[in-house]
């Protein structure tokens, strides 16, 4: 089993979650914040069988394609103050995906392991 962690833009999250559910996969969305821009993004967590990992990553790729350039020079001075110097613009959007092995998954109900 694997755990797929996809960090995406918040505006892509609903479409992605719908596509994941349509394929019979399960996901959890966490509202997160990028460490560099400190803008809200979304982290989608998916536990799945090894043979479905490629499919899951393809769904993320398909639904989180847009990347836009953010011009930091155009941002307000207070905002730019937070950021490392010398960076003028960055591309945001699309997705960043990590795949990690899962040692064990358990699902509990009524005090019983119903995995």
- The 8 Å CB, 24+ separation contacts for 20-28 are 20/44, 20/46, 20/56, 20/59, 23/55, 23/59, 25/52, 25/55, 25/56, 25/59
Stretch that binds ligand 2BA, among 13-21, 31-39, 55-63, 101-109 (CB under 6 A): 31-39
Binding mask 52-91 for ligand 2BA (x = CB under 6 A): -----------------------------------x--xx
Q: Does 100 contact ligand 2BA by CB under 6 A?
A: no
Asked whether 91 and 68 are in contact (CB, 8 A), the reply is yes
User: What distance in Å separates the CA atoms of residue 109 and residue 6, rounded to the nearest whole number?
Assistant: 28
By C-beta, is 30 or 49 nearer to ligand 2BA? 30
By C-beta, is 7 or 44 nearer to ligand 2BA? 7
Residues that bind ligand 2BA (CB under 6 A): 7, 34-37, 39, 41, 87, 90-92, 94, 96
């Amino acid at each position: 089993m694997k755990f797929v962690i996809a960090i995406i833009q918040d505006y892509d999250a609903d479409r992605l979650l719908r596509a994941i559910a349509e394929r019979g996969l399960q996901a959890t969305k966490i509202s997160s914040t990028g460490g560099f821009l400190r803008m809200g993004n979304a982290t989608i967590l998916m536990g799945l069988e090894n043979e479905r990992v490629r499919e899951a990553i393809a769904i993320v790729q398909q639904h989180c394609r847009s990347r836009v350039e953010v011009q930091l020079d155009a941002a307000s001075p207070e905002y730019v103050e937070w950021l490392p110097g010398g960076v003028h613009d960055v591309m945001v959007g699309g997705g960043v995906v990590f795949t990690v092995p899962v040692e064990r998954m358990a699902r509990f109900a009524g005090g019983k392991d119903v995995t």
